[in-house]
Amino acid sequence: MMDKAPEDGAWFAPKRFGYGASWPIAWQGWLLMACYFGVLGGIALLDKTGTIGGRAGAFTLFLLATGLFLVIAARRTRGGWKWRWGERD
């Protein structure tokens, strides 16, 4: 199914309407999503400590992980992130 990455190096397809990326189109995109959700699971465990330091740390890690995920996804989306009105690029 996804033996190799697309020739243009994209990991994600652009959204047809709106701003951002859609589903992954290469195995690297799926791996990035799996790693991101794994990190979120670890952060949730840290948040369950109940201490203020644990919760503040979990929130900080959440912001860092989400920011990194968004930057990588934006750079690896076919055509980049821009507003789209439904036309095919």
Question: pLDDT for 10-61, tens place per residue?
Answer: 999 999 899 989 899 999 999 999 999 999 999 998 888 778 888 899 999 9
Residue 58 lies in a domain: yes
Structural domain count of the chain: 1
Calculate helix-pair angle for 52-75, 27-47, nearest 10 degrees. 170
Residue 20 lies in a domain: no
pLDDT band at 3; cut points 50, 70, 90: low
Contact 62, 40 (CB under 8 A): yes
Contact 31, 17 (CB under 8 A): no
Residue 19 lies in a domain: no
Residue 1 lies in a domain: no
Residue (of 68, 48, 71) closest to 58 by Cα position: 48
Residue 86 lies in a domain: no
Residue 33 lies in a domain: yes
pLDDT band at 88; cut points 50, 70, 90: low
In angstroms, rounded to a whole number, what is the distance separating the alpha carbons of residues 22 and 17?
Answer: 10
- Domain hosting 44: range is 27-79
Residue 12 lies in a domain: no
Contact 40, 65 (CB under 8 A): yes
Residue 89 lies in a domain: no
Mean pLDDT of the chain: 89
